[in-house]
Chains A and B, each alone.
Chain A
């Protein structure tokens, strides 16, 4: 039997970039193929070619032994190829059924939507593949993990049997990732074939049958998940040996830099999101705030950085009260902020890299004399920082929006770390980044700590929290439920606290464990 899908010599050029360079790829019936590569390696481009979003410059696509031409996603769907994009394509105000039907509406009497028939089909698909979802629920009410299920159901509803999942775990909690893997196994068990795009090594080893590694637009190697190690895969991806674990020396904590007392903050819907949080970060230490997304971390950081007013409580930085101070005053008191959503808050994507490098210091000498911007000084500083922080950009005049995610984040880190600071607040600093960039940014954060800077790290990635933190605060439903020494806990223990289990009910991971509970 021929492979269900074969790509031969796919080449795709963008102006100045060879995104895909004669890529050959084979997918067998009932197989999970992992496509591993850093951001910008060409994974998404390749899949967009396959899905008919970009026409390839060279090469052919062969489905079940027959060459096909894919000019649009409709052609791909007709050939049984379906894709779940990293960012979901769902209409929030429509129901699950309506979203699934969209484009392939089942009609009654030629004009009316037959929602019942479609819903029945959705129920049947749900059951068959283990994708529980309520067909009548509105998308906007569903958690991200369930929305992803709807996306998968959409493909199955269209009878796709080659499924492409683009970075499917980027938006999921650890539990949702486990659920997704079950679904994936159930899909292939029933004859579907799957391409799984990711840059997360652990996931690849957990779920894939076969691994293809892409780098700089080329297939650089294959690996067998049964025998490969994370370190091998990482070095294949990046092209050099990679430190997966940030090496850090013991912290030498000094004076308290950030002191938060009984902080209460409301979210956009005026619910209490941060409910009486007290914490302290000292010079030369990293305090990690762990927690499942949506437990008040975002609002905590926004209150600390002046982006959201505190309802009650006190915030002091280096002894100065900055409760309800504006972002400018907080920045000027020596606080650096790597924001959670780099494209929304951290950068102006339509500005050149140079302007983004001075986004919050543009009014200070040497970048401005009075109100007149000194472009030469800006450009000079930007060029130095690009070099110093290894930002891969064609030049400082290039718009930030054209850089890859990792390099965009490096621009922010370069900007925030290259001014004198006492406190670094880093929120999800490596979300969505590739191994090489993660390694780099982790190294920078630890270097800053070793210079005596206090670091507040907020992350939903437990690996990241464990790798960088000296102490870990677990946040659950707006409260800090425990503050523990990082060296004394393991992931399982933290996972339980993150899930809301009371610290007293959790068996200490080691003998003589000290758990400092703060309520």
Chain B
């Protein structure tokens, strides 16, 4: 069918929003499905059914609104309180009113870095499951530069510690990358193995009498980093919102620029989309696998450095709570596009940070949030369901996401 025909005229904004339709509907559907779970696990609803079934619908509605209401408040804040705080003009009240939303951004920040890491891998046809391990190594390198290097001004110390994190992550990714490029060893296996090495390495480093253990404690924690290595925070405690968020946005822009505006990115994407054509066009598969994997590792390392320098200011055993694994789902949700990753990271950050409050206020187990996140991903991964439910037109063929190539070669 080669006849050139006038494309269907759609307004620009419609075209711009079209790729968002499916994810937005997936989130909506997941929330609806989640509400079913909330209702059937809610004791109040159960009680209503037992004693006065007529009140059950009301109880169900209450359960859902309380749960999602508290989630919303916990992640974005209470609108009434924000307005009241703004009217009062009291800086402390304003800060407190805005606390939930700033904390959502704090949670989203490592997700942005880690999601970009996975996305860069996907673009090159590589499945980097090792983001979690690379994140650990990045955090270790960053914390070491943070506490061991003394007397530097912040303007040098902050970037130096972040760079150390990026290099650490890149090094951790370089090993499976070179194995893949030279011997065809599958990166999925090797990055998983590198994760275990990273976890156990961090345990040893922080463990009893380990080289990174804080002197004078038996706990598996590192010393605090020098204040000169801390990412500056914009507001007084307890608001943790720090510079890392804007660094993450800047890095997302740089990754986009690298992937879509440079010859390096063109090569990486071509290797990911069609390695045979890449070879035909004179690109080096080996070199691009190594470049993409190291970049991916560096981004993962930045996620670790960000947590150390922006949030914790030290390194504790098992500090990451699975950012590296969540970010795989997140990169899928964001279609491996930096802008999509930022959007997905904001969503994950918001839901995660709302989950805590949902647990406290509505007594909803935090697992429900995990289930809702899982449902979001399931609906994203199976777009046919969403298209069927909402009668969406099939999306045009675009540059798809390549998850991974076959074994070997």
A337 to B4, CA, bound (A): 28
Q: What are the residues of chain B within 8 A of A331 when measuring CB–CB?
A: 282
Assess the A359–B277 pair: CB atoms within 8 A: yes
Q: Are B264 and A392 in contact (CB under 8 A)?
A: no
Q: Is A393 an interface residue (CB 8 A)?
A: yes
A130 at interface by CB-CB < 8 Å: no
Q: Which residues from chain A contact B283 at a C-beta distance below 8 Å?
A: 328
Question: Would B2 and A15 count as touching, CB distance under 8 A?
Answer: no
B interface footprint on A188-210 (CB within 8 Å = 1, 0 otherwise)? 00000000000000000000000
- Kindly provide the distance from the CB of A239 to the nearest chain B CB, expressed in whole angstroms: 13
Which residues on A sit within 8 Å (CB–CB) of B8? 15-16
Are A348 and B2 closer than 8 Å at their CB atoms? no
**With a CB–CB cut-off of 8 A, which chain A residues contact B282?**
326-329, 331-332, 360
**Contact for A344 among B4, B270, B273, B276, CB less than 8 A:** B276
Q: A307-B280, A346-B280 are in contact. Are A371 and B264 (CB under 8 A)?
A: yes
Give Cα distance in the complex from A286 to B310, angstroms.
Answer: 67
Inter-subunit contact A348/B277 (CB<8 Å):
yes
Q: A355-B266, A362-B263, A373-B263 are in contact. Are A392 and B397 (CB under 8 A)?
A: no
**Which of A85-93, A259-267, A401-409, A491-499 lines the interface with chain B?**
A401-409
Complex CA–CA separation, A39 to B398 (angstroms): 23
Closest to B264 in A: A371
Contact with A along B261-298 (1 / 0, CB 8 A): 11110100010011011011111100000000000000
> Taking chain B's interface residues, is the majority helix, strand, or loop, or is none over half, making it mixed?
loop
What is the CB-to-nearest-CB distance from B87 to chain A, in angstroms, rounded to a whole number? 49
Tell me the nearest residue of chain B to A405, going by C-beta.
B2
Q: Counting CB contacts under 8 A, is A345 at the interface? A: yes
CB distance B2 to A403 under 8 Å?
yes
Other-chain residue from A216, A363, A372 in contact with B3 (beta carbon distance below 8 A): A216
Does A347 contact B277, Cβ atoms closer than 8 Å?
yes
Question: On chain A, which size bracket covers the interface?
Answer: 35 or more
Interface residues as binary, B113-144 with A (CB distance below 8 Å gives 1, 0 otherwise): 00000000000000000000000000000000
**B281 near A14: Cβ-Cβ < 8 Å:** no
Set of chain A residues within 8 Å of B280, measured between Cβ atoms = 305, 307, 327, 337, 339, 345-346, 359-360
A94 contacts chain B at the CB level, 8 A cutoff:
no
Q: Is there a chain B Cβ closer than 8 Å to A350's Cβ? A: yes
Chain B residues with Cβ below 8 Å from A111 are none
User: Which one, A355, A368, A407, contacts B2 given CB within 8 A?
Assistant: A407
Specify which of B1, B3, B6, B279 is in contact with A327 (CB 8 Å cutoff).
B279
A404 touching B2 by the CB < 8 A rule? yes
Please indicate the chain B residues that have their CB under 8 angstroms from the CB of A346 in the complex. 277, 280
With beta carbons under 8 angstroms apart, the residue of A216, A328, A359, A402 that contacts B270 is A359
CA distance A401 to B280 in the complex (A): 18
User: Is B1 a contact of A372 with CB atoms below 8 Å?
Assistant: no
Instruction: Indicate if A376 sits at the interface (CB-CB under 8 A).
Output: no
- A399 close to B (CB within 8 Å): yes
B6 surroundings in chain A (CB, below 8 A): 16
CA of A402 to CA of B264, assembled, Å: 26
* Distance to closest chain B CB from A424 (angstroms): 15
**Complex-state Cα separation, A42 to B3, whole angstroms:** 11
Nearest-neighbour CB distance to chain B for A307, whole angstroms, equals 6
CB distance from B148 to the nearest CB of A (A): 35
State whether A399 and B397 are in contact (beta carbons under 8 Å apart), knowing that A326-B282, A345-B277 are contacts in the complex.
yes
Structural contact, A348 and B274, CB atoms closer than 8 A: yes
* A349 adjacent to chain B (CB < 8 Å): yes
A348-B270 in contact given A40-B2, A360-B282 (Cβ < 8 Å): yes
Give every chain A residue within 8 A of B266 (Cβ-Cβ).
355, 362, 373
The answer to whether the Cβ of A17 comes within 8 Å of any Cβ in the partner chain is yes
Contact A17 B3 (CB under 8 A): yes
* Bound Cα distance from A375 to B280, whole angstroms: 22
Q: B1-33 toward A: CB 8 Å interface, digit per residue (1/0)? A: 111111110000000000000000000000000
Closest A residue by C-beta to B270: A348
Q: Which residues from 6 to 23 on chain A have a C-beta closer than 8 Å to any C-beta of chain B?
A: 14-19
Q: Which of B5, B7, B266 counts the most A-chain CB atoms under 10 A from its CB?
A: B266
**A361 shortest CB reach to chain B, Å:** 9
Most chain B beta-carbon neighbours within 10 Å: one of A337, A344, A359? A359
Interchain residue pairs with CB less than 8 A apart (27): A14-B1, A16-B7, A17-B5, A39-B2, A42-B1, A307-B279, A326-B282, A327-B282, A329-B282, A337-B280, A339-B280, A344-B277, A346-B277, A346-B280, A347-B277, A349-B274, A351-B273, A351-B399, A355-B266, A360-B280, A360-B282, A371-B262, A372-B262, A392-B2, A393-B4, A399-B397, A404-B2
- Given A305-B280, A359-B281, A401-B397; 17 other pairs, CB 8 A cutoff: A16-B6, A16-B8, A17-B5, A45-B1, A328-B282, A328-B283, A329-B282, A339-B280, A350-B397, A350-B398, A351-B399, A359-B270, A360-B281, A362-B266, A371-B262, A373-B263, A393-B4
Give the top 5 A-B pairs by smallest Cβ distance, nearest first.
Answer: A328-B282, A16-B5, A360-B281, A17-B1, A392-B2
